[in-house]
Structure formats: structure tokens, C-alpha cells
Amino acid sequence: MTQYETLLVERDARGIVRLTLNRPEKRNALSAEMIADLTDFARTTGASRTTRAVILSGAGEVFCAGGDLRWMQAQIQADRAGRMREARKLADMLNALNTMPAPLIGCAHGGAFGGGIGLLCVCDLALAAADTRFGLTETGLGLIPATIGPYVVARMGEGRARRVFMSSRIFGAAEAVDLGLIARACPAADLAAAAGAEALPYLSVAPGAVGAAKALARRLGPRIDDAVLDATIEALADIWECDEAREGIDAFLNKRPPAWKQLRGEGAGS
């Protein structure tokens, strides 16, 4: 089995694969290397008939903190062609995970923010520890949830997605269940066993039929085709060019509030 710089991959004798994001020192933020590794995993192990189910989790204290800020800063400094290339790699990674035949079970703990929510939304089912915190935090950085957007809206539905899509508001596991982001929450100590139990039914069914059924569900669901992916790539490249994105990422990296941030209550009554 392929060894990855940013992932741990373990397969048991039954064909259940545990896929672990393995940048704990960076809160499993999505770097260029992790994006490439996840894409390769989806196109190889995730496409294999011998893989009966994949359980996705994160090492360390946080499932996934979203996009790597240094990587995003590099896109702001790149030219348009470079931004488009990197945005396409991110979109291709999400699409590869979303379309891989093997069922994908998400297993979140600690926190899932930005792209971390995108990863949960390409899972066929996601669970989380009861104390996990969630947030589509892009607008707090002057960005938008572009490439993850189609999957977030497909998972939650437009109406529910708009509750959290634009505000960068942090919410808990109970609301994540209500939004349809996760199927259920459980105590952190029970999370791995709960994910394992979700994988067991796939050992009793035909793997080819599972992949075909998953493909049918995608065709019957909201349209996420090349035109939609191209639109998200364009939108992400566009937002990386904006002054707000430069300001937001610089403020985050330098631990200062961005220029647009108001204190709570500021301007009330005006």
C-alpha cells in the first residue's frame, strides 16, 4: 500500500481502511501535499474492489482546521494561472473523494472548519464526537467556501446551508446534526467504535453494487458536474485576488483583527 507524507493508511484483513489525516502539528490543515495525497488515495485505494469501506479521521486534537494559511497566502501572491492551477487541484481532490466507489465514513473530533467541513460533506456518512466544534470560517478571512460549496449545499440543502455558509459562526455537534452535516454525535471515547460499526454492513454486500448505487445517488442528487466545478475554481481564484483576502489572511497570520471586524455591540442603535 502506498505510503503518504501527510496521511496514515491502515487496511485490515476484511478490507476496511482507516485513513488518517496526519499533520497534527498543523491541526491537519489542507496543504498542497495533503491535497495531492488525498487525491491519489481516492483514485487508487478508494477505487479498489478490495476496499470495502474507508473511515476518515484526523490525528491529534483536531479533525481538520481547513486550508493551510501559508498555502493560501502563496495563492494570493501567485499570478492568475497559478491560482487557477491550485484551485483546480483542490476541486479535483474533493471530486475524487466524492466519486470514489468505496463508501467513505467521516469521523470528526475536536474541530472541523472550512475545508474540514468540505471533507465531511463528501463522506457518505459522517459522525463526530459530541464536543466537536464546526464552522465555515472562510468569510472571516475574506474568502468564500468556493470549492467545498457544492458539497456543503448538497449535504445540508440550500436553506439550511445558508444558516452557516456566510457568517463564519462556530456551532456545535447538535446543530451539525440538525443541519444534516453529521448523522449523529457520540462520546469521544466511543467514536472509533461507532465508525467501525457503520462500516460493517458493507462487508455483507457486493462491492461493485455499492459503487454503482453510490454513483446513482450522485446522479439523482444535486448537479455537481464539470461546469459546476469550473465555476467554483473560478470563484476561488477570483476571491484570492481581492484585497479582503489579503487583509484577512495577513491579519490571521499576524494575530491581529482584520480591518472590517467590529467589536460586539459596536454600531448598535445607529
Going from the N-terminus, what domains does the chain have, and what CATH number goes with each?
7-208 (3.90.226.10)
How are beta strands 125-129 and 104-108 bridged, if at all? Answer: parallel
User: Are 98 and 148 spatial neighbours (Cβ–Cβ below 8 Å)?
Assistant: no
C-alpha–C-alpha distance, residues 143 and 156, integer Å: 20
- Global pTM reads 0.95
SS3 at position 263: coil
Give CA–CA dist 141/253, Å, rounded: 10
Give the integer Cα–Cα distance in Å for 45 and 35.
15
Alpha carbons 64 and 180: distance in angstroms, whole number: 19
CA distance 192 to 241: 41
| Residue 213 Ramachandran class (φ > 0 left, ψ -120 to 50 alpha, else beta) | alpha
Backbone angles phi, psi at 106, to 5 degrees: -85, 150
How confident is the prediction along the chain (270 residues), in pLDDT tens digits per residue?
789 999 999 999 999 999 999 999 999 999 999 999 999 999 999 999 999 999 999 999 999 999 998 888 888 888 999 999 999 999 999 999 999 999 999 999 999 999 999 999 999 999 999 999 999 999 999 999 999 999 999 999 999 999 999 999 999 999 999 999 999 999 999 999 999 999 999 999 999 999 999 999 999 999 999 999 999 999 999 999 999 999 999 998 899 999 988 865 544 443
Could you give the C-alpha distances from 231 to 84, 162, 166, 198, 224, in angstroms and in order? 11, 19, 18, 34, 11
Could you tell me how many residues make up the chain? 270
In angstroms, the CA 110 to CA 134 distance is 9
Strand order in the sheet with 171-172: 111-113, 133-135, 171-172
Chain position carrying cell 471533507: 119
